[in-house]
Amino acid sequence: MHPREALFILFASAALPVSGALAGVTISTGVAAQRSETVLYSFKNGNDGSLPFAGLIADGKGNFYGTTQTGGGSGCGGQGCGTVFRLAADGTETILYSFRGGTDGAKPQAGLIADNAGNLYGTTGAGGGSRDAGTVFELASDGMETILYTFCSLENCVDGGGPEGGLVMDSSRNLFGATAYGGILGHGGKWCSHGCGVVFRLAPDGVETVLHAFKGRDDGAAPEGSLIMAGSGDLYGTTPEGGMQSRSCREIFPARCDTVFKIAPDGKERVLYRFCSQPNCADGAAPELGTLVMDRQGNLYGTAAYGGARGHGVVFRLAPNGEETVLHDFQGAPDGLAPLGGLVGDGKGNFYGTTLQGGSGTGCAGEIGCGTVFKVARDGAETILYSFQHGGDGSFPYGGVMLDGAGSLFGTTGYGGGTNCSGGYGCGTVFEIGN
């Protein structure tokens, strides 16, 4: 079973009892009238792909672009090795590329970025060579794939391995990302037996530079989400492991104390925050897949999948001085639990995202809900915009959402939409939540 498939089972028992209160916590929840949902596409577990675990990007013509982790062919043990797809405004899906599982890569878990010429860039978490450690790829508008880099190309994978997040590109067309393992062994292998992961830069000529190799204890480990880049060239991201400092973290989540970090252009890392610094992890724990958002004042916003008053995750703000505020503390049902994806802001101080589980839907993983799309206002008040019902509407949204100019939200669910995948859970959907 792939970690993404097992993840929703894990979260079913992730609640933590927490005593005491955290300054700034808001637990008010709006569960009134929900918006309408439209399923733009339901994957069928064939050549069209299946299990879309990442969010979407769009072009100026109304087309959406994304990846599926499986499907697209018969490789990778019969499940298919994943796809890159385009979904037109009329609902027509086109497979731009089907991974074969060899040197071309396999099982993309992250979303895409695009350049001004319409070329797409992304990562695969597997494939690429004999070590099956993943790739960075470019996909031209004509569907031709070019492998820009294959990980574990160096001895002992010191160049990184297993990129699970997406990429960011600077004005010189350098690509930046992170890998979940590889690099150096943390503390003699005690914390990361296969390396604790790296932050890398990939030049246009294909030369890779490791900007930072995580050590696993103090500086974080196993980064899974995508990075963001400030105008200064500084990179910001999260690690769902490492950063072991607090007693709460050691007792509740051994080796999973989690960080928010900054990498300067010269590769110097600074840990901006270590989660579980509050008693019983009331400040959050395990920022998993989500990308951070930065406002004009330099505040960072994100999600942590665990922690909070009930262990169901939080939405947080991190000030430039390192002070963390929990904007919303998830309660489970009906307001959602386990926010894995990141956030998107509307410029008015509101943030939008998804929770993997929770909500008012039934029939998913022990009747704890099929996931939600939510809005968190500037004051921390949460509104559930939609609760998935584990039917044709989709279930288990792993990625975040994108917001258009009219206020509609678009995203994917990893499952749902039918009964032809994963023991009846469905193969996933692309959805729209109307304004």
pLDDT-based confidence at residue 270 (cuts at 50, 70, 90): very high
State residue 253's pLDDT score.
55
Q: Phi first, then psi: what are they for 200, rounded to 5°?
A: -125, 160
pLDDT band at 248 (very low <50, low <70, confident <90, very high): low
* Ramachandran bin of 41, using left for φ above 0, alpha for ψ from -120 to 50, beta for the remaining angles: beta
Mean pLDDT of the chain: 86
Name the strands in the sheet holding 57-58, side by side, starting at the edge strand that comes first in the sequence.
Answer: 57-58, 64-68, 83-87, 93-98
Share of the chain above pLDDT 90, in %: 68
Report how far residue 421's alpha carbon sits from residue 259's, in angstroms, rounded to the nearest whole number. 35
Quick: pLDDT tens for 68-91.
Answer: 999 998 889 888 999 999 999 999
Best CA proximity match to 297, nearest among 321, 270, 261, 264: 321
Q: How far apart are CA 282 and CA 145, in angstroms?
A: 45
Q: Which pLDDT band, with edges at 50, 70 and 90, does 368 fall under?
A: confident
* CA neighbor of 330 nearest in space, from 363, 306, 299: 306
- The reported pLDDT for the residue numbered 250 is 54
Confidence of residue 245 (pLDDT cuts 50, 70, 90): low
Residue 77, Cβ density class (10 Å: 0-12 exposed, 13-18 middle, ≥19 buried): exposed
Question: How crowded is residue 356: how many other Cβ atoms within 10 Å of its Cβ?
Answer: 29
Please report the pLDDT score of residue 290 as a whole number: 82
- How many domains, in total, are found in the chain? 1
Range of the domain at 106: 3-433
Strands across the sheet containing 235-239? 228-229, 235-239, 259-263, 269-274
**pLDDT per residue as tens digits for the range 113-141:** 999 999 999 999 999 988 999 999 999 98
Q: What is the pLDDT, as a whole number, of residue 23?
A: 31
**Who contacts 390 (Cβ-Cβ below 8 Å, separation ≥6)?**
361, 362, 363, 364, 370, 416, 425
Could you read off the pLDDT of 151-195 as tens digits, one per residue? 999 988 999 999 999 999 999 999 999 999 999 865 545 567 789
Q: What is the mean pLDDT of residues 34-55?
A: 92
Confidence at 219, pLDDT banded by 50, 70, 90:
confident
Cα atoms found within 13 Å of the Cα of residue 172, Cβ hemisphere only: 8
Q: In which band, very low, low, confident or very high, does the pLDDT at 358 lie, cut at 50, 70 and 90?
A: very high
HEC readout, 138-188: EECCCCCEEEEEECCCCHHHCCCECCCCCCEECCCCCEEEEECECCCCEHH
Cα end-to-end span (Å), the chain: 37
State the CATH number of the domain containing residue 153. 2.120.10.30
pLDDT band for position 104 (cuts 50, 70, 90): very high
